[in-house]
Amino acid sequence: MSPLLIGALLCTATILILAIGVPVAFALALVAVGFLVLFEGIGSLEIVAEMMFSSINHFTLVSIPMFILMGAAVSSSPASKDLYEALDRWLHRVPGGLIISNLGACAVFSALSGSSPATCAAIGKMGIPEMRSRGYPASLATGAIAAGGTLGILIPPSITMIVYGIATETSIGRLFLAGVLPGLLLTALFMGWALYTAKRHGYSRAESRNYTLHDKLIVLPRVIPFLLVILGVLYVLYGGIATPSEAAGVGAMMCVMLAVVIYKIRDFKSIWEMLSSSMKESVMILMIIAASELFSFTLSSLYITQSVAESIAALDTNKWLLLGMINLFLLVSGFFLPPVAVILMTAPILLPIIQSAGFDPYWFAVIFTINMEIGLITPPVGLNLYVINGICKDVKLSTILKGSFPFVLCMVLAIVILAIFPEIVLWLPDLIMGPEIN
């Protein structure tokens, strides 16, 4: 049996097992072990435990639970409410200002929490009812929050960028920097669409009061400390003062302390919930990493990875057509799998192909991530859609999907812009860390 046929069977088996509701980590491990035993015999089981353990035996991975704890400290406090209120007060006179303030809150909160579902839940619970009460249609209100929540996997510190760096052995600090300007670009495109829609349809904010300068300033002392922690973490990381794991550990400790001091979250139950939720999410991600490493080993051991790479290289096609095919593949993968799983399964295969075509690996990381963002707001998986649907049970899923579709087009436009102007991605990493020596 040819490696490509084995690969087709393996992919089919994976999709079927995932379709019946088996968790991603267990599905990947089950398929990997099954195909290893089927094609290489029972003796291949000897390397399973060692392979899974070695994949998570990296000091850099310590940064993942630390950044997750950092986000949990922010998510469990009223910081999201204060952030939303601050932006709302400063932008209340802008046409479509309520949507723009919600998108801005999503962008900042996603940088604080690093989690798309957490951003959707935290900002959506306050922002969606407020937008609907001010005359904005349910589709636009829910779509804006669903799309805004996706920024969490692009704007640093991003868990998916850490996973990409580990999977491809690229610099995590440079990946973080590469995501800054594209994240701002995407946020600006989202806000631009919101502003255009508000003016076109005449949506306005019937303000019940005018905010004074005192009203605008009074909420800032509770928000600024968290923003300073994020800036501090990024500074020590990019300045070469600390490793990602060290920076994440200090950032997590600072955010927990701020939650205790500013919002007086001091009871054992609240702190335990914060720690337990962080532990559950961290274990889930690390299990996916371990299972994906075993899955990748199976692909390589059965010569599937090499055959796919050789087949793509043999196409001898235009590099932009090749990129379009890869984007389509990533888009479809993102429809069915979470970003972490897609990165771990495909990035090691695709990166050599991308580099051989002359594309920069850090630029590709951003393109890869934006494709994963699209997957978060498109069916059938579309995690953010279901989070929003859980918040607004009276809004149909189709209505949320309709509202998020223009933001999907904004993401596609962002990919096109970054393809034409790759300097948007590469300028900041080269400026701060210097050009990378290959």
Cβ within 8 Å of residue 371, ≥6 positions away: 327, 330, 331, 334, 415
CA 41 from centroid of its chain's CA atoms:
38
Task: Give the single-character DSSP code of 152.
Answer: G
How high is the pLDDT of residue 312? 67
Which pLDDT value is given to residue 207?
44
**For the chain, percent helix, then strand, then coil, each to nearest 5?**
80, 0, 20
Residue located via tokens 């994949």: 55
Burial track 121-150 (b if 16+ CB lie within 10 A, e otherwise)? bbbbbbbbebbbebebbbbbbbbbbbbbbb
Q: Is 47 exposed, middle or buried (0-12, 13-18, 19+ CB in 10 A)?
A: middle
> First and final CA of the chain: distance in angstroms?
38
What pLDDT does residue 95 have?
67
Angstrom distance (rounded) from CA 256 to CA 259? 5
Nearest partner of 30 among 17, 16, 47, judged by Cα: 17
Low-confidence ranges of the chain (pLDDT < 50): 206-208
Residue 91 CA to residue 216 CA, distance in Å, equals 10
> DSSP per residue over 308-347, as a string?
HHHHHHHT---HHHHHHHHHHHHHHHHHHS-HHHHHHHHH
The pLDDT score that the predictor gives to residue 271 is 85
Look at residues 175, 178, 194, 201 and name the one whose alpha carbon lies nearest to residue 91.
Answer: 194
CA distance 117 to 104: 16
The 3-state DSSP class for residue 10 equals: helix
Fill in the DSSP letter of residue 209: S
What is the predicted pLDDT for the residue at 208? Answer: 47
